[in-house]
A = this chain, B = another copy of it.
């Protein structure tokens, strides 16, 4: 495996998770040294929620709320870049062309959102398509894709392998409110058209990322085209 796009949940970017972030950064640096090409997209997390809620209270439009959420995700990207040291592409890319630029220069670009109305997952999928990534790693808050909502149903079962079609079924049928937590329709449509391979893992268990980058298929849910 030579080309990977990693999506990190914004929930990582809060004071209690600094150690996890540092572990993830070390893993990324380690695999960069081994020759793996990577691009990273991070979410807005708590900071995004904070600014979106302030903007919302002030009566600012949803479009501008998106822009503030994007700003927050870029602040997270700056923090993660600072952990990568010389390996990072800096400053944080704000256009998809800059991600391509950084990739071709063999640096790790760490970015956040790009446009209102477009999720960070859609950005990651679009990047994976443009960069011909062999794998899109979606590091989220759960261990993978479940057949039911793992947070409420003790019988929820992790799906170790599934097709994009099956993923769409799971996302549409099961747990309603958080159904876009894993992937929104735009992100899925890009994954479909580009025939991307995707794995969902738990960002808070960095050994899962390490395992995936090493080429193992032990952890997470693997989605094939």
Which residues in A have some Cβ–Cβ distance to B below 8 Å?
A: 13-15, 18, 21-22, 47, 50-51, 53-55, 57-58, 60-64, 67-68, 71-72, 74-75, 78-79, 82-83, 85-91, 94-97, 100-101, 103-105, 107, 114-118, 122, 125-126, 129-130, 132, 185-186, 189-190, 193-194
Contact = CB atoms under 8 A, between A and B. Distances in A.
15 contacts: A15-B54, A21-B58, A58-B83, A63-B126, A63-B130, A71-B74, A75-B75, A85-B132, A90-B97, A94-B95, A96-B116, A104-B107, A116-B129, A116-B130, A186-B186
Q: A-side binding surface: helix, strand, loop or mixed? A: helix
Contacts of A116: 96, 126, 129-130
Contacts of A47: 47, 50, 75
A15 B57 contact: yes
Q: This chain: how many copies in the complex?
A: 6
A75 B125 CA distance: 25
A203 B142 CA distance: 43
A107 B107 CA distance: 13
A70 B61 CA distance: 25
Contacts of A50: 15, 47
Contact of A130 (B51, B61, B89, B118): B61
Nearest to A64: B82
Contacts of A62: 129, 193-194
